Structure 1
């Protein structure tokens, strides 16, 4: 079959998400694909685990066999021009090692790691023994990691921040993780009027602020934000632009979340609040 002419077409920004599947559709691979698509890129995926999950929580996790994770990654990297990779849920040390080895092998231009350890519901999604493997094998390869406050505490051994001053006190420890940049998300400080994040570089940091939205429908916010950032990086934005646009996107998706009526627990954000237009 003859391929269509590509003379007048622009390269398609392709983003790979490596993460777990959420059977409820609100987080994980499903949220990633929605966010990448809604922000104007093409999404491909490699599934690391299958969760039995809904808006009320996670009831079971089945890690994908290592050989098949390898096969998925070889399949997409060998054929698709993947510019950015977003990594989410990695259930154990061996999966982390496989993913890190493939990132080193194929060398995508951008890597965003959402160190998924604790779901919004409080369920533990990463074995505690795997945290050190994550820190030594994968995080040093990342252009950006996007921990929430419990994840930041788990990565650094610091106490869980209860205010913005505590977030600031965590900056030094986060810089010691040997990553290029950290987006520390302050969404768990629910008593604050704004939802403030810290974009932390080795030599400076910036405060990113947005009005806090009063909604219970926040399932998949971390997955969605990190995927949107990877999408904007793939489109040629620099890191600060990609993070700023990603925060604007997730803020709007949360603001429109109550337009959806999904499940009886923490519902998903509204990924397609603007149709398929680039945000």
Structure 2
């Protein structure tokens, strides 16, 4: 893989909790404008690896490079400032607030100048305008109104809002943890279509998923994680889904 193609690279990442090694000298590469799926059994260490890449966990050793430059994330805010956004399974939204407010949660726009700026009042109109423009750019048409409260949305619609928020601010990388979990067939298709549109807009996407058929459908490459480290990197079509699951579980050798 040519160095200039890689937007996010990790080398020799290690994270240990007491006597338990969660990430064992693992490598990782994400190319620009691709969807990379990370698969592995429960306890394989893939979540710990992703937390390192998103700034949620500080590794004991190893290096992380963003666009070829070494970086050090001490918190999720550091990763966010670097253009890396993560969508976790809990979605981190406030149901009582509307869609626009949730899209700008933690990044609220406030009035500049006048009494509104003195009182630090929220500029709801600007947030709604920009939020609608961002949803239109992503081709999202499944939401009725930007002012609709999140608590009134279906599971798939809530996932759409969470993914859209990450896409708006994740200028380099968007990481998604099980984005289709607990969704029906139709809602899963909608989320996968949105992920493709994010990739097609030039962003790089990391998808952590147990849904192997969806992984095969949407991925450009598949990172197979086992016993704390990457054991294989595959392209869909290189081998059958059954064989890939065999590699993931250890029933088949990686090579």
- Please indicate the TM-score interval, normalised by the length of the shorter structure: 0.3 to 0.5
TM-score normalised by L of structure 2: 0.35
Bigger-Rg structure (1/2): 2
Task: Give the structure, 1 or 2, with the largest relative contact order (CA under 8 Å, sep 6 or more).
Answer: 2
